[in-house]
Structure 1
Amino acid sequence: MIVTSLLDTDLYKFSMMQVVLHHYPAAQVEYKFKCRNPGVDLVPYIAEIREELAGLCSLRFTPEELEYLRGWRFIKSDFVDFLALFQLNAKYVEIYPAQDGPGEIEIRIRGPWLHTILFEVPLLAIVNEVYFRNTQRGLDLSEGRRRLREKIALLRDTEGFHDCRIADYGTRRRFSRAWHEEVATTLRDGLGRQLAGTSNVWLAWKLGLTPLGTLAHEYLQAHQALGPRLRDSQVAALETWAREYRGDLGIALSDVYGLSAFLRDFDMYFCKLFDGTRHDSGDPFAWGERVLAHYRANRVDPSTKVLVFSDGLDIPKVMRLYQHFHGRCQLAFGVGTNLTNDVGPEPLQIVIKMIRCNGQPVAKISDTPGKNMCEDSAYVTYLRQVFEIPADPEAVPC
């Protein structure tokens, strides 16, 4: 089995799941898989992916895992009690050849949000590992180890970057589970305090690292169907999060409707309430400058706030961003694919995104058009009107 523990996922899945349990236990959702690499044939591996899915759905949280979760300051006892009874169910997942093009596959996840939210990350890890163990049999990982050593040395040994810290965000696109563990172990031993932690809860538990994460796009997208009127959905999502965590896990994601729409909603109250914001699309330097200016305009000292960068980072880009913003605010960097799938072959660019909630379409309109994903173009047009988002002539149709 590829995934052997339900902890082998990203922390923000648990933080969002707790909110779903307490506030939206009846919500129904739909997720869709997409591979952005052209010409990748995944159809031959459908049976193998289904077999791994069955293994995933056989897992339960162990008493030791539950005790670990219970020790987190922001996890509530009733949520851990729920997880003690929890098990993923394959009836919510369909995997079949797509109609769109040769080699493409459909993965659809439909069901209660509370019972489907944990599918995304392990399913993506399964698709990755099934694909690479079939197409790269016996791959010599010495090249991956060489590249990893160079990255560690660059960050560790360059003068002026001793306070620059990175985190592993690479679960969903890793080459394999074993390689992910080796990468995290090597980073821990090679970087010391410069490794802030990992988004992967199982590795954090096993290797004694700090688990990191807050919320993802799906949380804000779902509020398009869960909130009051659509225009207030982003505010409703942030307010519900604040009610649940009372000041903990205070990093807001800024790109579900683009930065301009986010900043219109992220007023002085939210500027003071949340610890910082996360970048995940668009030019990170321009984004950071606008966010810092927004804090100043709302009479908040930017040096007390965190900017989290997590969009397609590698170590040189981390260092450029650190050099640009260091001393002006607090900084955090989440590096994903470039750490956990940089071994030689081209990584898969695969995602699973929420596309419906309670029967209604949901979408994000990020600052990188290629990241948009929705099956209802009329809804996207309406969403743009509601949030005053100008149409992008280069946007990829959803």
Structure 2
Amino acid sequence: MNNLCIVSSLLDNDFYKFTMQNAVIKLFPFAKAKYEFINRGNHFFPKNFGKILKENLNNMAYLKLSKKEKHFLKKYCPYLDSSYLNFLDKYKYNPEEVNIDQKGKIIKMNIEGLWSRTILWEVPLLAIISELYYKLTKTNCLSDNKIVNIIKNKIKKYKELKVKVGEYGTRRRFSYKVHRLILKILIEEGYPFFMGSSNVHLSQNFSIKPIGTQGHEWIMFHAAKYGFNIADKIAMRNWLNIYNGNLSIALSDTYTSSIFFKNFDKYLSNTFHGIRHDSGDPIFFIKETIKHYKKLKINPIKKKIVFSDNLNPNKVAYISSVCKNQITPYFGIGTNFTNDVGPPSMNIVIKMTQANPEKKWISVVKLSNTNNKSTGEKGTILFAKKQLQL
């Protein structure tokens, strides 16, 4: 494979990027956003990495939604209406929105533009960085046979536990080829416990429904527009207005779960099918969630928690044992599926740093349940914590 075709489909992205893009177009069509690449693992990049990465992005400008892909979205994602599909039909990546700067072994990268356009960059960019890094550092993974055996063993454990699992691993995959191989095995071996993949392109390849709802940037933007205290509530209500109760898993840790539960009133708690846990102690979170539902006289067993924080079979076994007969667990597994193939996985993210809801740039932050996952300017983080009395 040459360096210019790591992402070869407009749909090689996570489903929640498209669901958020649809909502942004409808509610905030003129809003702008800035994003930044964060190298959490302090990885050193080889010579010319930035140049080859830019060539890749230039190549993405030619990607276009095919008739077959549009038909797939119509059939498998009925909550994406025709006005949005027509928008996507005309959408093209604009590499000018991404600024890449390499000094020695350090890469800096920023994205800026209309939120409705720039929202699609994050996941494919991270996937390209990950694959290019292994390629240019000549890092090999295990053989296909060994990878197949690892995935078969994992899915066997999940089936023995009788837990529902999905694959969320696009952004930190070892490579597209490995990702495709892994998904093929999960589909072949995982029935009836494998729920699907967040990757829309690969879901289309295998004729399965893509999975996902929304990400932290949806709530971070609402904080810029409406304030930290009510961002969760307005973001959730807006989501319900767009999707009429479909795709209704609430994200709980943009401004810590304690603030989320204050916003998750009886109407929202009843209407949303469940909650996603993405940081902090999962066992504490289970207890808090059950307590919250019981306080509102809602039966927790009828609700879901979707766990998506750095999972592996041992963690899943422990979490599911605590949930048993109390609340229904689902598991979204990322890197442990798509990059547990020999070399260490990269620890890289791209996060929204500023939002411009109307005519002014406002710094945005994410206050995770664990400090090391919080993002944003230190001053804004302190301001947000003060506002929220954390």
Give the shorter-chain TM-score range.
over 0.9
**Equivalent residue runs for 1:312-327 within 5 Å:** 312-327=310-325
Residue 39 of structure 1: CA displacement? 4.4
Give the corresponding residue for 1:392: none
4+ long deviations beyond 6 Å: none
Choose which of 17, 20, 43 in structure 2 pairs with 1:16. Answer: 20
SS in 1 for 2:105: coil
- Alpha-carbon distance in structure 2 between the residues aligned to 1:382 and 1:65: 44
| CA gap 1:39/1:205 in 2 versus in 1, 3 angstroms | closer
**Equivalent residue runs for 1:291-302 within 5 Å:** 291-302=289-300
The yes-or-no answer on 1:149 pairing with 2:152 is: yes
Give the corresponding residue for 1:393: none
Q: How many equivalent residue pairs? A: 380
TM-score, normalization: structure 2? 0.94
Supply the AA of the counterpart residue of 2:380.
Y
SS in 1 for 2:65: coil
**Equivalent residue runs for 1:16-165 within 5 Å:** 16-41=20-45, 44-71=48-75, 72-97=77-102, 103-137=105-139, 139-141=141-143, 142-156=145-159, 158=160, 161=161, 163-165=162-164
Supply the AA of the counterpart residue of 1:337.
T
Supply the AA of the counterpart residue of 2:191.
G
1:281-306: CA deviations, max 9, x gaps?
00111111101110100111101111
Q: Which deviates further from its counterpart, 69-78 or 353-362?
A: 69-78
Residue 194 of structure 1: CA displacement? 1.3
- Alpha-carbon distance in structure 1 between the residues aligned to 2:349 and 2:140: 26
Residue 330 of structure 1: CA displacement? 1.9
- Alpha-carbon distance in structure 2 between the residues aligned to 1:313 and 1:84: 35
What percentage of aligned pairs have identical amino acids? 33
Give the corresponding residue for 1:255: 253
- Contact kept, 8 Å, 1:128 with 1:348, in 2: the verdict is yes
Supply the AA of the counterpart residue of 1:106.
K
Give the corresponding residue for 2:196: 197
- Contact kept, 8 Å, 1:312 with 1:336, in 2: the verdict is yes
SS in 2 for 1:231: coil
- Alpha-carbon distance in structure 1 between the residues aligned to 2:353 and 2:388: 18
RMSD: 1.4
Give the corresponding residue for 1:396: none
- Alpha-carbon distance in structure 2 between the residues aligned to 1:294 and 1:272: 11
Give the corresponding residue for 2:381: 380
- Alpha-carbon distance in structure 1 between the residues aligned to 2:89 and 2:42: 41
SS in 1 for 2:354: strand
- Alpha-carbon distance in structure 2 between the residues aligned to 1:208 and 1:24: 32
- Contact kept, 8 Å, 1:279 with 1:307, in 2: the verdict is yes
| CA gap 1:355/1:138 in 2 versus in 1, 3 angstroms | closer
- Alpha-carbon distance in structure 2 between the residues aligned to 1:42 and 1:212: 35
- Contact kept, 8 Å, 1:143 with 1:344, in 2: the verdict is no
- Alpha-carbon distance in structure 1 between the residues aligned to 2:238 and 2:88: 21
- Contact kept, 8 Å, 1:10 with 1:121, in 2: the verdict is yes
- Alpha-carbon distance in structure 2 between the residues aligned to 1:148 and 1:230: 41
Residue 138 of structure 1: CA displacement? 5.0
Residue 326 of structure 1: CA displacement? 2.2
Q: Which deviates further from its counterpart, 14-23 or 204-213?
A: 204-213
TM-score, normalization: structure 1? 0.92
Q: List gaps (5 residues or longer) in structure 2.
A: none
- Contact kept, 8 Å, 1:42 with 1:105, in 2: the verdict is no
- Alpha-carbon distance in structure 2 between the residues aligned to 1:237 and 1:139: 41
The yes-or-no answer on 1:363 pairing with 2:368 is: no
Supply the AA of the counterpart residue of 1:87.
K
Supply the AA of the counterpart residue of 2:68.
E
The yes-or-no answer on 1:234 pairing with 2:246 is: no
- Alpha-carbon distance in structure 1 between the residues aligned to 2:42 and 2:98: 24
- Alpha-carbon distance in structure 2 between the residues aligned to 1:214 and 1:183: 22
Give the corresponding residue for 1:215: 214
Residue 47 of structure 1: CA displacement? 1.2
